[in-house]
Homo-oligomer: A and B are copies of this chain.
Amino acid sequence: MRGGRLFARGAADDKGQILTLIAAIRAYLQTSGKLPVNVKLLIEGEEESGGAGIEGYVRDHADRLKADACLVLDSGMFAPGVPAITLGLRGIVGAEIEVSGAARDLHSGIYGGVAPNPFQALAEILTGLKDKNGRILVPGFYDRVAPPPAEEKAGWERLPFEEAAFLRDEIGAPALTGEPGYSPLERMWTRPTLEIHGMPGGFTGAGSKTVIPARAAAKVSMRLVADQRPAEIVDAFAGHVLAIAPKSVRVKVNKSHGAPPVVISPNAPAIAAAKRALTEAFGREAVFVRMGGSVPIVSEFAGRLGLPVVVTGWSLPDANAHSPDESLDLEHFHKGIRAVMRFFEQLAG
């Protein structure tokens, strides 16, 4: 513990949130000897390595996992002291664009001017996928994008969010990017994206080697929002890539499986119970937010098991989640224990 924070080897943030759940259960068992509701605990440690195990478990044990509601402690506070319930998560689907030109790497002096360059082709393809405002140009890409309910969006406008401070403290770039007409929170929570993660191929060492590479690739992923479907989107993406690719190169798109987006109705009794519990435990009204990241298991709980899912947690934006020196605020840790206890009582009541 340092400066009112809990640090632990590995994922202090994730482990700390699980500990609040276990501490809440233990508090009941040590005092009244029983829990206000029946609780089934499902703990996984594979988040950083794909998380395929828990998806298989949920698929194979739907009977054992029957419940009235599901609590997922994997999101966070909106800001210090401001508890939040996450009503939406973006989905994800990935692809690798492989481009090949000449049959072998070529001398750029001898052949430059006639030999296709796979990186040049990729630059043309990538700028044909997205305009300079971040709008994705894949035909049909936005067809199923459902705008957030007006009431939910109105709630976001009341959240304590300052764009200038966000740019300075969380991003650190000269400016934010993204589609005009949408606030930063809307762009992160309700708009799909297309990002480039790496471009393997050619020469990437120190110094120079002036080859025209035979092959190059671009690793991309798209974050999806309700009601986009990963398979449909990645197919449209691949079709568009092939349609706009220069004819001097061969192009192959390797598609990944992906995870669908999730939207949770604020009208479920479990959500109302969670909102009351959080508000009471933290002494400040819990807010409804969304999350730009993807938690594939939430769509398994919501979709496959048909459960109302309460996604919440006590993590802070500066917790360094999944990074070195990950931490959990101790005050939030203690209030989190109380919030879980109140949630059980609200569900029982």
Contacts and interface: CB of A to CB of B under 8 A. Distances in A.
Interface of A: 90, 92, 94, 96, 100-104, 106-117, 119-120, 122-124, 126-127, 130, 132, 134, 170-179, 184, 187-188, 191, 193, 195-204, 208-213, 216, 218-219, 221, 223, 246-250, 256, 291-294, 321-322
11 contacts: A102-B173, A110-B291, A111-B171, A112-B188, A113-B134, A114-B178, A116-B176, A117-B177, A119-B198, A198-B209, A208-B219
Contacts of A113: 134, 177-179, 184, 187-188, 191, 193, 223, 292
A113 B130 CA distance: 12
Contacts of A209: 197-198
Nearest to A193: B112
B221 A208 contact: yes
Given A120-B130, A223-B112, A292-B112, A107 B322 contact: yes
B177 A116 contact: yes
A293 to B, nearest CB: 3
A293 B175 CA distance: 41
Contacts of A94: 208, 210
A202 B199 contact: yes
Contacts of A114: 171, 176-178, 184, 187-188
Contacts of A111: 170-171, 188, 292
Given A115-B177, A172-B104, A223 B109 contact: yes
A174 B250 contact: yes
Contact of A188 (B110, B175, B203): B110
A191 B113 CA distance: 7
B248 A176 contact: yes
